[in-house]
A and B are shown apart, each in its own frame.
Chain A
Amino acid sequence: MPERRQTEPPHAAERSQQTERPMIEIRDVTRFYGSFKALDDASLTIKEGEFFSLLGPSGCGKTTLLRMIAGFDNPTSGLISVDGQSMEGIPANRRPTNMVFQSYAIFPHLNVEQNVAYGLKRLRLERSEETRRVEEALAQVSLTGLGKRLATELSGGQRQRVALARALVMRPKVLLLDEPLSALDKKLREQMQVELRRLQQAVGITFVLVTHDQYEALAMSDRIAVMFGGRIAQVASPKEIYQRPVNRQVADFLGGMNFVKAEIVEESGASLVVDTLGFGRVNTDKPKAFVRNGGAATLGIRPERLRVLWDNATAKFEVAGKVVERHYFGEITHLIVEIPGLEKPLSVTETNDFGADDIPVGTSIRLAYDPEALVAMAD
Chain B
Amino acid sequence: MTAAAEGSPSFGMMRARRNALLQSEPVQGLALISPTFLYALVLLVLPILVVVAHSFWTQNYLTIDRSFTLENYRAALTEPIYRDLLWRSLYISMMVSFFTVVLAYPIAYFISFHGGRHKSLWLFLITIPFWTSYLLRVMSWKVILGYNGVLNSGLLGLGIIDEPSTALLYNSSAVIITLTHAWAAFAILPIFVSLEKIDRTLIEAAKDLGDGPIRSFLRVTLPLSAPGVISAALIVMIPTVGDYVTPKLVGGKDGVMIANAIQAQFGKASNWPLGAALSVTTMLIVTLMAGATVVIIRAAQRLAR
Contacts and interface: CB of A to CB of B under 8 A. Distances in A.
B202 A105 contact: yes
A53 interface: no
13 contacts: A70-B208, A92-B208, A93-B211, A94-B210, A97-B208, A98-B209, A103-B199, A107-B202, A109-B224, A109-B305, A122-B209, A122-B210, A122-B215
A99 B301 contact: no
A114 interface: yes
A325 to B, nearest CB: 45
B63 interface: no
Interface string A155-190: 000000000001100100000000000000000000
Contacts of A123: 210
B71 interface: no
B204 interface: yes
A110 B202 CA distance: 12
A101 B215 CA distance: 20
Given A109-B305, A118-B209, 18 more contacts: A70-B208, A72-B208, A91-B207, A93-B209, A98-B208, A99-B204, A101-B201, A103-B199, A105-B199, A105-B202, A108-B202, A109-B224, A110-B305, A114-B305, A118-B219, A119-B209, A122-B209, A122-B210
A132 to B, nearest CB: 18
Contact of A109 (B201, B207, B215, B301): B301
B48 interface: no
B238 interface: no
Contacts of B210: 93-94, 119, 122-123, 170
Nearest to B223: A109
Given A105-B199, A109-B223, A99 B205 contact: yes
Contact of A166 (B209, B223, B224): B209
Contacts of B52: none
Nearest to B304: A109
Nearest to A108: B224
A105 B204 contact: yes
Interface of B: 199, 201-202, 204-212, 215, 219-220, 223-224, 301, 305
B205 A101 contact: yes
Interface residues of B: mostly helix, strand, loop or mixed?
helix
Nearest to A163: B205
Nearest to A95: B208
The listed residue with most B CB atoms (<10 A of its CB), out of A70, A93, A97, is A93
A92 B305 CA distance: 22
Interface string A116-136: 001100110000000000000
Interface string A301-340: 0000000000000000000000000000000000000000
B232 to A, nearest CB: 18
Interface in A19-74: 70, 72
Interface residues on A, range: 20 to 34
Contacts of A92: 204, 207-208
B292 to A, nearest CB: 22
A109 B206 CA distance: 13
B201 A105 contact: yes
Contacts of A99: 204-205, 208
Contacts of B215: 122
A108 B227 CA distance: 13
Contacts of B219: 118
The listed residue with most B CB atoms (<10 A of its CB), out of A105, A119, A122, is A105
A195 to B, nearest CB: 22
A166 B208 CA distance: 11
A59 to B, nearest CB: 19
B208 to A, nearest CB: 5
Contact of A103 (B201, B207, B305): B201
Contacts of A114: 305
Nearest to A70: B208
Nearest to B202: A105
A101 B204 contact: yes
Nearest to B203: A105
B204 to A, nearest CB: 6
B151 to A, nearest CB: 42
A170 B210 CA distance: 9
Contacts of B212: 91, 93
